[in-house]
Amino acid sequence: MIKPHCFGKDWFQSMSKKYRYNDLGIIEKVIRAFALLDILTRSGCPYIFKGGTCVGLILGDKTRRLSIDIDIICPPGTNVEKSDILKLTSDMNIDRVLPVRLNKLKKTRPEAFFYWYLIDRIL
């Protein structure tokens, strides 16, 4: 779990200085993305990483890449909309979850993208 002090401007500034990364807005978005990942885990929704998120976690600091999205795949039949995610986001100033269904591959593979909107940001 990400500790509450990690959502403050002072912490963002200390990380900016430590890692020589000047965009505090991106640092905030990355921390909130990982907090959402924590919420997804606590909700019991099964997932595996894919794409750049997976590469970044495997390579660690070597990538020096901050990503504001998390790419995951859930097993077929997983109903993300009915998980406890909405209840668990209340402590993060999340306004709402907007599911967006994209079915690029027709009926062979259903896809869904979920956007979380912040009520207000620190920065």
Classified as helix, coil or strand, 77 is: coil
Our CA angle for 44, 29, 63, nearest 5°, is: 90
Tell me which residue range forms the domain holding 112.
4-118
The answer to whether position 50 is within a domain reads yes
% of the chain exceeding 90 in pLDDT: 5
The answer to whether position 123 is within a domain reads no
Extended strands (E) in the chain: 48-49, 72-73, 94-102, 111-118
- pLDDT 10s digits, 61-106: 555 566 666 777 777 777 766 666 656 666 565 555 555 555 555 5
End-to-end CA distance of the chain: give it in Å, rounded. Answer: 22
Sequence-distant (≥ 6) Cβ neighbours of residue 19 within 8 angstroms? none
% of the chain exceeding 70 in pLDDT: 49
Domain tally for the chain? 1
